[in-house]
Chain A
Amino acid sequence: MRDIKCQLLVIGAGPGGYVCAIRAGQLGIDTVIVEAEKPGGTCLNVGCIPSKALIHAADEFAKASAFAGGDTPLGIQTGEARIDYPRTLEWKDGIVHRLTNGVSGLLKKAGVKHVDGWARFRDGKTVHVDTATGTQTIEAEQIVIATGSNPVELPGLPFGGDILSSTGALALTEIPKSLAVVGAGYIGLELGTAFAKLGSQVSVLEAMDRILPAYDEELTRPVKKRLEALGVTVLTGVKAERHAKNAGTLSYTNGTQAGTVPADAVLVTVGRAPATEGWGLEELDLTMDGRFIAVDDQCRTSMRGVHAVGDVTGEPMLAHRAMAQGEMVAEIIAGKRRAWDRRCVPAVCFTDPEIVSAGLSPQEAAKTGLDVRTASFPLQANGRAMTIERDDGFVRIVARADNHLVVGVQAAGSQISELASYFAHAIEMGARLEDVAQTIHAHPTLGESFQEAALRTLGHALHI
């Protein structure tokens, strides 16, 4: 097989890698991207997109069930709700297919060469790719490592059979009667909630003392309440032990007491780890930052000409962070002056209700020594929230006391994820409370609660 020589080689076609390759192609850089699976990475194939599809289907089914049960104040009544789950999956897979094809098309349009196979470094400039037709050697002036991350396994509950990773849960062909979710992070709660709405008996086991330990307690309270309303068993401060397949149970202890929860299937979502094995990292001897590849503010690793973007470079492991990094690296390689100077990477949990966080939480701000003022506005006082039957949640602003600069925004609420970018925009633009307060917010929308939160921080909210 003829060796390929190129200016830029991107390893991994997830959000970080494919965006980097597209941008590099646009800038006229001779670019090759290597991917063993379908383009789109975890996000498009087994992460963000299919899980959101499943969550939507579950929401719709839950609504239909409520209508059928007659327990809705809307007065809507229907016949019994049924779900043809294989068809649901087909629809979900259709979306994934459309998006991964779209990415392939975009790469092609940008003039990026795609090599299908598993890449392995030989040295800092050369990569061997195991393809279907043999080993392909690629020599590149610059290499971008965008290998992503993988779900973390528990020693007592290795993936396989009824022990599912998030990938496995999305691929289930039928809805399990009972599902135990180990790890109450956002992935576990998103999928656990969806299966609860689809009819599974769901139990969530968390080792820490509360759900979503990465977020503050105030922010997670509406989710906790909702889980209870959905009949999800939430056990905190417990350790999952063993899955008894025949009995269909998962045992746990909390130090003193032991117990079991029903578990035809077990979903283990205890975090994700950077994918640093199997592609020849050991050939490069890169400086590491814990489990992650250490990078500077231009995503350069310790080896000249080798960059890294996305989950493999650290937290937060989010697709949009990887995309921004990938775009930046392509522009740097094209000779533009760029460096990472973003003020915030917004994060969303598609739990029920959804949670959004952009910038600093009050606790984080306090830790950095900032004197901040905080106020929140409850969706209970928001007209739009009432009209969609979801007035649980709130919008909270964290602003500097001295100059009123907005340094953080958090929110919980149904459909509140759509405001995440708005919050991030305010922070990036350097908005002060007055800027938010003086902007006319369209009525009636959930966004008004951001304005009201700003007014409330200033001491004169109107609608509360």
Chain B
Amino acid sequence: MGQHVIKMPDVGEGIAEAELVEWHVKVGDPVNEDMVLAAVMTDKATVEIPSPVEGIVAWLGGEVGEQISVGAPLLKIEVAGDGNTDAAATPRPAEPLAEDEDAPAQPAADTRETSLKEEPDGGGEAQDAPVSARRQPDKTTSPAGKATRDRSLPAQTRKEGDRPLAAPAVRLRAREAGVDLRFVRGSGPAGRITHEDLDLHLDAGARPGTAAARAPDNRVTDFKVVGLRRRIAEKMQVAKSRIPHITYVEEVEMDALEDLRAALNTRKRDDQTRLTLLPFLLLAMVRAIREQPSLNALYDDEAGIVHQHGGVHVGIATQTRNGLVVPVVRHAETLDLWSCAAEIARLAEAGRNGTATREELSGSTITITSLGALGGIATTPVINHPEVAIIGVNKMQVRPVWDGAQFLPAKMMNLSSSFDHRIIDGWDAAVFVQRIKTLLETPASIFIED
């Protein structure tokens, strides 16, 4: 870290000083390039001072209303890298130890160091050092008081790689607060981190680009769980607490189905609904259920009876503004591809705008859940109680697939499906999903009657 010193610019007309009329920043603020830092006024105009660099304000050169000489330091910005005044950032390795300027060991006075220490008049103690805004002006506890703060005092900042310098109590507090002291600026002698520095850091939160802890937000906002949210909560609670879920994830190669879908969509009539993946999946499920009817069932666990249904009523979990609703495609076994697509679209719309009837939102025997484009790699769907199975659709992505000789790009999609393990054995669950996989990978088989 280095410091970039911004000096009062020559605002024209040969004036020697300008009045500081406004600060747009304060110490500790992050600033970007071109951000306005301050406004100064001459007889004729107010001039805004932009920042030439990105960094953090380390020091302000005066109070509003003060006259500041042209060329005097106006403000200092801590920047990544060396800054325009390297004396503060990179202590010279072989600095003479003698405080006494006349000591023979001391080489010719270092003018860079000297100029840095010479602050403008009028600020007194508070302006004496770049970091002094953070320092308690307590002369009794500071051995680096006015008398000893002479020009040959060593650099104040820490070198890269140095361990942060802090008393044990400060280190303990920092550790308990989860603060890495390497990211805390030390205002004390030799860059020592004081309790005040730590307070400041905790108050200000982490600096941009650092990994230190942010200021904790202790706000708690209460919301009453009512309406649809409460229904969802109750339903999820029942499902998760009563049903021992088994979740099975399998990937499906979708190229064939996607080709078919694209071909059908280009040739469709205007009155036909554009095909998504869902109608295909629905029909594949109908086919698979024909072979494994036990998946299409409601389990009344209190009575100890499984109601296995002939009709396939597929609930489609739909996200609405208020929360999750599950409109139901009734008797999917009676629908062809296009009518299935139309029914899904209609129900989804009704679910979303809240016009779905009670009948349309109940009576499902199996459910599909899809997060669409957000779908992720895998999910662990929660069964729509009292059903025994739910099929989750994950996001389709082009992934490399090994064909035995090489990797080929393939449109891959995962199905994450959960089953009620009390009724459905893992084996049957896997057979069911594998069957759907086969149907989707060879989509013609969905439509060919045995």
> Smallest CB-CB separation from B97: which chain A residue?
A373
Question: Is the CB of B303 closer than 8 A to any CB of chain A?
Answer: no
List which B174-191 residues lie within 8 A (CB) of chain A. Answer: 175-176, 178, 188-191
Mask for A426-464, Cβ within 8 A of B = 1, else 0? 001110111101110000000000000000011110000
The answer to whether A402 touches B148, judged by C-beta atoms less than 8 angstroms apart, is no
Is A282 an interface residue, CB under 8 A from the partner?
Answer: no
Scan A64-104; emit 1 where CB is below 8 A from any B CB, else 0.
00000000000000000000000000000000000000000
Nearest CB in chain B to that of A372: its residue = B97
What CA separation (Å) do A402 and B89 show in the bound complex? Answer: 12
Q: Is the CB of A403 within 8 A of B191?
A: yes
Q: Give the residues in chain B near A435, CB-CB below 8 Å.
A: 143, 189
- Asked whether A460 lies within 8 Å of B99 as measured between CB atoms, the reply is yes
Asked if B168 CB lies within 8 Å of chain A CBs, one says yes
A438 touches which one: B94, B103, B148, B167 (CB < 8 A)?
B148
Chain A residues closer than 8 Å to B159, beta-carbon distance:
402
With both chains docked as a complex, state the minimum distance between the C-beta of B153 and any C-beta of chain A, in angstroms. 8
What residues on A are CB-neighbors of B91 within 8 Å?
402-403
A435 → B minimal CB distance (Å): 5
A405 in contact (CB, < 8 A): yes
Q: State whether B100 touches A459 (Cβ < 8 A).
A: yes
A433–B143 Cα distance when bound, in Å, is: 10
Q: Which of A34-42, A47-55, A204-212, A331-339 contacts B (4 or more CB under 8 A)?
A: A331-339
Is the C-beta of B155 less than 8 angstroms from some C-beta in chain A?
Answer: yes
A405 to B186, CA, bound (A): 14
Interface of B is mostly: loop
- B191 proximity list for chain A (CB < 8 A): 403
Q: Let me know if A430 and B167 touch, CB within 8 A.
A: yes
CA distance A399 to B154 in the complex (A): 12
**CB distance A402 to B167 under 8 Å?**
no
B residues less than 8 Å from A430 (CB atoms)? 165-167, 188, 190, 192
CB <8 Å contact, B171 and A458? no
Question: In chain B, what residue has the closest Cβ to A373?
Answer: B97
* Cross-chain contact of A339 among B98, B166, B175 (Cβ < 8 A): B175
> How far, in angstroms, from A438 to B99 measured CA to CA in the complex?
13
Q: State A373–B159 Cα separation when bound (angstroms).
A: 18
> Do A403 and B155 touch across chains, with their CB atoms under 8 A apart?
yes
* Contact, CB under 8 Å: A371 / B93: yes
A458 touches B144 (CB 8 A): no
Interchain CB contact under 8 A, A405 and B190: yes
B92 CB, nearest partner CB in chain A, Å: 7
The residue of chain A having its C-beta at the shortest distance from the C-beta of B175 within the complex is A337
When chains A and B are docked, how far (Å) is the Cα of A459 from the Cα of B167?
A: 27
Within the assembled complex, what's the spacing in Å between the Cα atoms of A438 and B190? 15
How far apart are the CA atoms of A129 and B248 in the complex, in Å? Answer: 48
**A401–B190 alpha-carbon span in the complex (Å):** 11
B199 within 8 A of A: no
Number of B positions contacting A (CB below 8 A)? 32
A315-348 interface with B by 8 A CB criterion: 336-339, 341-342
Query: Which residue of chain A lies nearest to B188 when distances are taken between CB atoms in the complex?
Result: A430
| B residues near A437, Cβ cutoff 8 Å | 143
Determine whether the beta carbon of A459 is less than 8 Å from that of B166.
no
B95 at the interface (CB under 8 A from A): yes
- A-side contacts of B166, CB under 8 Å: 430
Asked whether B401 is an interface residue with its Cβ less than 8 Å from the other chain, the reply is: no
Chain B residues, Cβ within 8 Å of A404: 97, 154, 190
CB nearest neighbor in B for A339: B175
Residues of A within 8 A of B156 (CB): 403
Interface majority SS (helix, strand, loop, mixed), chain A? loop
Mark contacts of B62-104 with chain A using CB atoms, 8 A cut-off: 1 yes-contact digit, 0 otherwise: 0000000000000000000000000000011111011110010
| B105 adjacent to A459 (CB under 8 Å) | yes
Residues of B within 8 A of A371 (CB): 93-94
**Chain B residues near A336 (CB-CB < 8 A):** 176
Across the interface, which residues of B come within 8 angstroms of A459, CB to CB?
Answer: 97-100, 103, 105
A458: which of B99, B167, B176, B190 is its contact (CB, 8 Å)? B99
Distance A401 CA – B94 CA, assembled complex (angstroms): 6
Is there an interface contact between B98 and A458, defined as CB atoms closer than 8 Å? yes
Task: Kindly identify, within residues 357 to 415 of chain A, every residue whose CB is under 8 Å from any CB belonging to chain B.
Answer: 371, 373, 399, 401-405
Contact indicator per residue, chain A 412-430, by CB within 8 Å of chain B (1) or not (0):
0000000000000000111
Among B100, B167, B168, B190, contact of A403 (Cβ-Cβ < 8 Å): B190
Residue numbers in A under 8 Å from B94 (CB-CB): 371, 401
Closest B residue to A430 by CB, please name it.
B165
The residues of A that contact B97 with a CB separation of less than 8 Å are: 373, 399, 401, 404, 433, 457-459
The answer on a CB contact under 8 Å between A337 and B143 is: no
Q: Are B144 and A434 in contact (CB under 8 A)?
A: yes
Residues of B within 8 A of A337 (CB): 175-176, 178
Whether the Cβ atoms of A434 and B171 lie closer than 8 Å is no
Which of chain B's residues 158-217 have a Cβ closer than 8 Å to chain A? 159, 165-168, 171, 175-176, 178, 188-192
**B171 (CB) vs chain A CBs: closest residue:** A341
Known: A429-B168, A432-B189. A401 touches B93 (CB 8 A): yes
Asked if A428 and B154 sit within 8 Å, CB to CB, the answer is no
Contact B105 A338 (CB under 8 A): no
Closest partner residue, chain B, to A399 (CB atom): B97
Q: Please report the C-alpha to C-alpha distance between residue A460 and residue B103 in the assembled complex, in whole angstroms.
A: 9
**Closest Cβ of chain B: how far from A331's Cβ, in Å?**
10
| Chain A residue, CB-CB nearest to B159 | A402
- Looking across the interface, which residue of chain A has its beta carbon closest to that of B149? A434
Give the chain B neighbours of A399 by CB distance below 8 A.
97
| Complex partner residue of A434 from B100, B143, B155, B167, CB under 8 angstroms | B143
Closest chain-A Cβ to B197's Cβ sits at a distance in Å of 12
Chain B residues within an 8 Å CB radius of A403 = 91, 154-156, 189-191
**A215, B1: Cα distance in complex, Å:** 38
Nearest-neighbour CB distance to chain A for B90, whole angstroms, equals 10
Q: Please name the residue on chain A nearest to B190 by beta carbon.
A: A403
Give the interface centre of B94, B98, B156, B189 by most chain A CB atoms within 10 Å: B189
- How far is the CB of B93 from the nearest CB of chain A, in Å? 5
Q: Pick the contact of B165: A373, A405, A438 (CB < 8 A).
A: A405
Query: What residues on A are CB-neighbors of B100 within 8 Å?
Result: 459-460
Q: Let me know if A402 and B143 touch, CB within 8 A.
A: no
- Nearest chain A CB to B17 CB, angstrom units: 36
A/B interface sample: 5 pairs, CB < 8 A = A337-B178, A403-B154, A403-B191, A430-B188, A437-B143
Q: A399-B97, A401-B94, A404-B97 are in contact. List 13 more A-B contacts (CB 8 A).
A: A337-B176, A337-B178, A371-B94, A402-B93, A402-B95, A403-B154, A403-B189, A403-B190, A404-B154, A429-B168, A430-B166, A434-B189, A457-B97
The 3 closest A-B pairs by CB, nearest first: A459-B98, A438-B143, A403-B190
